[in-house]
Structures are given as C-alpha cells and as structure tokens.
Amino acid sequence: MSVLDKVVAAITPSESEDERRRAREKAGAVAANCDWLRLILTHHRAIEDAFAQLAAASDANGRRRAQKWLATLLNGHSMAEEAVIYPAMALGDQKTHATTAYTEQSGAKVNLAALEGLDPMSQDYIDKFEHVRGAVMHHMYSEEDDWLVDLAKTADPALHARLAARYAEEFNRYMGPDATMP
Ligand SMILES: [Fe+2]
C-alpha cells in the first residue's frame, strides 16, 4: 500500500472537539499579528461551513451543489497552501510536516473526486463524505495546533509579508473574481 493509499484510506481523527477549539484559539491569537494566518483561518472556517452545508442538504441536487462549492473552496485553499505555505515550511525547519501536509491534501483531493462518481443519495456517498470531512478536520487541526503556528512565529517580517501577498494571490487565481464566500 502506497503512502497515498494509506492517507486516502485513513479514518477518524483522534483529537476531540475541545482540542480543536483550543487549537483554533491558539492559532487565532497568533493570527492577530499575522495576515496570512488570519486569512487561512477565515478559509478554514468557510471550509467547515461548506462541510456543514453538504451534511444538511437532503436531496441529490442540493448535495451536488454543496459538494461543488466545497470542492471549489477546498481546492482553492489547498492549492494556495501547496504553492506558498508548505514550501515555506519545507524551506524552514518543517520538512516532515510539509511532506505530511502535501500527502494529506492529495488524499483529500482523491476522496473528493471519488464523491463525484457516487450516487449522492447512497450510503457509500455519506460514508465517503464523512471520511473526507474527518480527514480534513484532522488536517486543519494539525495546521492550527502546530504547523502554521510554528511558521507564523518565525521572526522574519519580509517572509510574512510575502506569504500574505502570495497566498491571497494563489487563492484568488483559483477562485476567480466571481467566487463569493457563502
Ligand atoms: Fe489549511
């Protein structure tokens, strides 16, 4: 089994709701002085909302619409991180974290693509959706509890200014001018 296969198959995160909340608060405190982290936290919250919208959709059309928005947002966010933030981690002292981050996001892309091939009213679809949601929640927890906070604490104002501009540039390049956050 390849590393990617293992990530695609991985299930339920081990952290609790309480641990996630504490990580979000910790990252939020650091983000008060870090523009790129503040924007990323905004996008993490939007991703959580997109998952909740899909979970609440009760018919096939509603699920497909919510799934499309979720995939668009998740791809825009993840590609901006992959182009800008994870390279900064890898070029600093977080090479292992960067490798894990890339692998986990590749797994999420595979599983999101798998959703497109499933009947949105089937149990397989619901199972796959919950699998993706758990994996992405765990990934965001790792970013907020550790990886991104460590990078944000790097004492290099020029680096942070560049990361803020470049993350926004890459996110907007994918999302386009018409994409509006719900
Ligand atoms: Fe993220």
Ligand 1 centroid to Cα of residue 78, in Å, is: 6
pLDDT at 41 over 90: yes
Q: What is the pLDDT of residue 43?
A: 97
Interval between CA 89 and ligand 1 midpoint (Å): 13
Tell me, what's the pLDDT at 58? 93
State the distance from the centre of ligand 1 to the C-alpha of 27, rounded, in angstroms. Answer: 12
Residue 153 — pLDDT band, cuts 50, 70, 90? very high
Give the pLDDT confidence score for residue 22 in this predicted structure. 97
pLDDT in tens, 64-76: 999 999 999 999 9
- Cα separation, 54 vs 66, whole angstroms: 5
Whole-model pTM: value is: 0.91
The pLDDT of residue 14: 80
> How large is the average pLDDT for residues 8-15?
66
Q: What is the mean pLDDT of the chain?
A: 92
Secondary structure string (H, E, C) spanning 98-116: HHHHHHHHHHHHHHHHHHH
| Domain spans in the chain, listed from the N-terminal domain onward | 36-174
Distance 72 CA to ligand 1 centre (A): 14
Report pLDDT for 176.
Answer: 81
- Distance (Å) from CA 103 to ligand 1 centroid: 13
Q: What is the CATH number of domain 36-174?
A: 1.20.120.520
12 pLDDT tier (thresholds 50, 70, 90): low
CA 61–ligand 1 middle distance (angstroms): 28
